[in-house]
Structure 1
Amino acid sequence: MVILDEPFVSEEVKVFLEQSQVPVLDNAFAARAGDGYRFNRVDEAAFSARMAASGETLRLLTVSENSLEWVMRHSRDTAMKDAIALMKDKAAFRRRLAPLYPDFFFREVALDALDSVDPASLPFPCVLKPATGFFSIGVHIVASPQEWHAAVDAIRKQAGQWRKAYPESVVGSTVCIIEEYIEGDEYAIDACYDETGHAVILNIFRHEFASQDDVRDRLYYTSVAVIREHLADFSQWLDAVNRYCGAKRFPVHVEVRIAHDGTIVPVEFNPLRFAGWCCTDLSWFAWGFRTYEYFLNGQKPDWDRILKDRDGRLYTLIVLDKPAGLQVPYRFDDNRLCAVFGKVLHFRNLSRNPHYPVFGFLFTETPENDRGELDAIVKSDLTEFLVPA
C-alpha cells in the first residue's frame, strides 16, 4: 500500500503504480498526480480498514514524510508508530542508541534557549540542527566557539522559512540538537526491515561534499565498489540498530558516516520512505530494479547478479539546489547542463515550479577513473546554467 503526498512524485513511480495496481490512498495529491494514470485509488475509510486488516502482512510505503501525520492518526500498528516517532526525533533516537555509542556527545536544546548555551561546554567542531529535519535544512557545522552565535542567528532565521515550506511533522521548528561532528565518509542507504526485523539493503549511495563545511545534498553516487565494500557491514549495523527499534516490514532511508576508526555512526533515519523526492529511482537507472517494488513484494536484490559486468562506472544522483537568495527572473538552461556530462541517464526538470527548492535532479553515468564532470558540479552554485528570463 502506498501514500502519495507533497511535494513530488516521479513519473517512474506513477508508471509502477499504474502497472502494479498497488492500493494508493485517495487523497488530493494522489488525484492530481494520478491525472492521466489509472491508479488503484482507495478512499480513506477503506484504506484505513485495509491497514488494520493486513496486520502482520502490511507493507506500507510513503514517498514523502508529509504523510507521516496521517499514518500516525490512522494506523493501529503500535510498533510501526513507535518506530516512526523514534526515528523522527533525532534526540530520542540518540538516547535510544546510547548503548551503541556511549561516548557520543549530543544535547537537546529549545530553539529559544540556544543563547543560553555556553560555547565553552561544546566539543568543536560540532553540528547544530533541528531535532526533526529533512533535506539538510537548518544543518550548521560550527567549527569554533567564535562561530557559535552566528550559527544560532542563522538557524533562527531559517526556522521561519522551513515553517512555510514543510509541516512541523517533517521539519521541527522549536527544538534543536547539538552533537559532535563525525569525521569520515558519508553514505545514504535505501533499505527495509523484513518480516523478521532483519535489514534488506536496496541501494547504497556515497555522499560527496565540496568541502568539510559543505552540508548540501548535491552529489551522491553508487557503484559496484560502493555496494561490495559496504553491503555486509551496513547490513549487520542496521540489524544491530533495529534491536533498539523493533521495526518490521518497514522502509527506511538512512544517512551514516564511517568514522576514521571504522565505526558506523547514524546521521539520521527517515522512516517509511526511501530517498526523498523519489530520488530512490537511482536504483532503477543504475541497477534496473525499483526499490519500492522490491519492498512491496518482499523481494531481495540478488546483488551478485545485479553487479555483474558493471565495474568501472559511477551512477550518480545530482541535486540541483537553487542558490540562496535567488530573486532575479531566470530560465534554467537544461540543455547547457546536460551538455556538461558524458552520459545523462535522466533529467528530472522541476525548474518551472517556483516553490521547489531545487531546479531538478540529474542522473548520470560517469567513468570511475574520469570524475572531472562530477568534481566541477559539486562545487558549482549553478548560476552558469541560468539565463535571464
Structure 2
Amino acid sequence: MFIIDLPYVSDLLRQTLLSNQFPVLKTPDAVMLLPKEGIHFISEKEAIEKYKTGEIPTIYTSSENSIGWIAKNLSFSELPEKVELFKNKLKFRMQVSALYPDFYFREVDPDKIEDIEYGELPKPFIIKPNVGFFSLGVHQVSSPESWEKVKIKIREEAEVIQDTYPKEVLDTAKFIIEEIIEGEEYTIDAFYDKNGEPVILGMMHHLFSGEADTSDRLYTTSSKVLSENMDRFMDFLRQLGNLVGLKNFPIHLEVRVDHSGRIMPIEGNPLRYGGWCTSAELTRYAFGFNPYEYVMLDKKPDWNTILEHHSGNSFSIIILNNNSGIAARKITRFDYEKLTGRLGKVLELRKTDVVKFHVFGFVFAETTPDHFDELRQLLHADLREFIIQ
C-alpha cells in the first residue's frame, strides 16, 4: 500500500499507481495530489484491516509526513516502533551501538546548547536535530570560534525551519551531537523482503564542496558507484537487518565508508526513498527500472546485466538549496534557464517555492565522464548569479 502525502508527488509515482492499481490510502492530501479517476483508493478502516491480516505486507510513503498516521493506526504491529527507531537519531545510534561501541554521541536540549563547552566534545563534531530532514539544521564544528557561531545559527534556524515540516519529519526540540564520521558518503535505497533479505534498488554518491560542507547539493550515481559498493553494502544491510529485525521494509540509508572500507551508518529514513521522489526517480533515469514497482512486487534487479550494458555516464540530482546568503523573501526570481544551460543534458527540472521549502528546486542531469566538471561547478556555486532580487 502507498501512503501519499504532502509536499510532492512525481509524475512517475502517479503513473505507477495508475498502471499497477496498487492500493493507496484515501486521505484528503492523497485525493488532492493524485488524479481524480483511476486510483485504487482504500479507506483507513480497510487499510488497517488488510495490514493486520497480512493482505497488505508492505507500506511505502511518499513523504515522512505520513509517520503520524502509522503511529496512530498501526500500533498493534511492530511497524511504528521500527519507524521510530530509524527516524529518531538517538534511538538509531543506541540500536547500532552494538556494532560501533566506541562511537561518541549524546542528546541535548536546545536551551542547554549554550552551556556546552567546546573542550568537552570530540573534535570535530556534528550537531543536528534529533528528528531531521534534508540536512536542515545540520552543522559541523571544528573550532571554538565555529562552535560559538553555530550556537547563534541554531537559534536563528529553529525559528525559520520548524514550521516547514511536521514534527515527525523535522523537530528541533532536541538535538544530537556526535563525532564526525570520516570518509565518502553514500545513500542506499533498499527494501527487506518477506524473509528479511535485503534488496538494493539504488545508490548515490553524496559529494561535498569541502570538509565543512553539510549540504545536500549534489548526489550522483553510475555503474561505477554500484559495482564498487554492491557487495559490501549488501553485507552491511544484512548486519543491520539482523540487528533490528526488518521484513517488508523499504529504507533510504545514509552511510560513510572510511579509508579502510569500514561502513558507518549516518541515519536511516524509513518506508521511503529520497525525499521529494528524488532517488527512486534517479534510479529510473540511470538504470531503466521502476523502484516503486520493485518494492511492491518484491522484485530484485538483475544488477549484473544492468551494469554490463550501462553507458558509464553519471546521473545526478542537483538540489538547489539557497546558500546565497540572500533571504528568500528578498528574491524576486530564480533564473532556471541560465542554470540548466550550464549542463550538457537535463533530464528533468522541478521548481519549488524557496520561501516555503528553502530550496529553489531539483535538477536531474546526465553527464559524460569528460564533462563531470559542470557538476562540480554547481557543487561549489553559491547560486547568486542565478538570483534576481
TM-score by length of 2: 0.95
Who is 2:193 aligned against?
194
Equivalents in 1 of 2:289, 2:225: separation in Å? 17
Aligned residues: 386
Alpha-carbon deviations, 1:156-212, whole Å to 9, x = none? 221222221111111122211111111211001111111121211110000011111
What is the match of residue 122 of structure 1? Answer: 121
Aligned to 2:65: 66
Which moves more between the two structures, 162-171 or 326-335? 326-335
Q: CA deviation at 1:354?
A: 4.4
Structure 1 position 387, deviation (Å): 3.9
What is the root-mean-square deviation of aligned Cα atoms in Å?
1.6
User: What residue number does 1:132 align with?
Assistant: 131
- What is the distance in 2 between the residues matched to 1:185 and 1:77? 39
**Where in structure 1 are there 5+ consecutive unaligned residues?**
none
Q: Take 2:114 and 2:92, find their aligned partners in 1: how far apart are those partners?
A: 24
Structure 1: how far apart are the matches of 2:355 and 2:120? 42
Cα separation, 2, equivalents of 1:144 and 1:370 = 36
In the alignment, which residue of structure 1 is the partner of 2:152?
Answer: 153
Q: The residue matched to 2:131 in structure 1 has which SS? A: coil
Q: Deviations over 1:74-113 (max 9, x none)?
A: 1155322221111111111111111211111111111221
Q: Tell me what 2:338 maps to.
A: 336
CA distance in 2, matches of 1:18, 1:322: 35
Residues 156/329 of structure 1: CA separation in 2 closer, same or farther (3 Å cut): closer
Per the alignment, residue 92 of structure 1 pairs with 91
Counterparts of 1:196-235 in structure 2 under 5 Å? 196-235=195-234
Question: 2:360 corresponds to which residue?
Answer: 359
Is the Cα contact below 8 Å between 2:328 and 2:355 reproduced in 1? no
> TM-score if structure 1 supplies the norm length?
0.95
Of 319, 344, 347, the match for 1:345: 347
Q: Offset at 1:377?
A: 0.7
Cα 1:77–1:298 change in 2 (3 A) is: farther
Contact 2:16–2:292 at 8 Å: present in 1 too? no
Distance, in Å, in 1 between the alignment partners of 2:386 and 2:76 is 47
User: Residue 317 of structure 1 aligns to a residue in which SS?
Assistant: strand
Q: Does 1:377 align with 2:375?
A: no
Q: CA deviation at 1:376?
A: 0.7
Equivalent residue runs for 1:275-354 within 5 Å: 275-279=274-278, 280-323=280-323, 324=325, 325-351=327-353, 354=355
How far did residue 222 of structure 1 move?
Answer: 0.5
- 8 Å CA contact 1:124, 1:145 repeated in 2: no
Compared CA separation, residues 102 and 216, structure 1 to 2 (3 A)? same
Report if the CA contact (8 A) 1:14-1:37 is conserved.
no
Segment drifting more, 164-173 vs 33-42: 33-42
In structure 1, the residue matched to 2:20 is: 20
Percent of aligned pairs with the same amino acid:
38
Change (3 A) 1:216 1:36: same
Contact 1:318 1:361 (8 Å CA) reproduced: yes
Residue deviations 1:297-339, cap 9 Å, x none? 0001111121223243101111112345222342222222221
Between stretches 271-280 and 102-111, larger displacement belongs to: 102-111
Q: What is residue 50 of structure 2 aligned with on the other side?
A: 50
Q: Is the 8 A contact 2:6 2:65 kept in 1?
A: yes
CA distance in 2, matches of 1:76, 1:137: 29
* Consecutive unaligned residues in structure 2, runs of 5 or more: none
Q: In the alignment, is the contact (CA less than 8 A) between 2:188 and 2:203 conserved in 1?
A: yes
Cα distance between partner residues in 2 of 1:226 and 1:114: 38
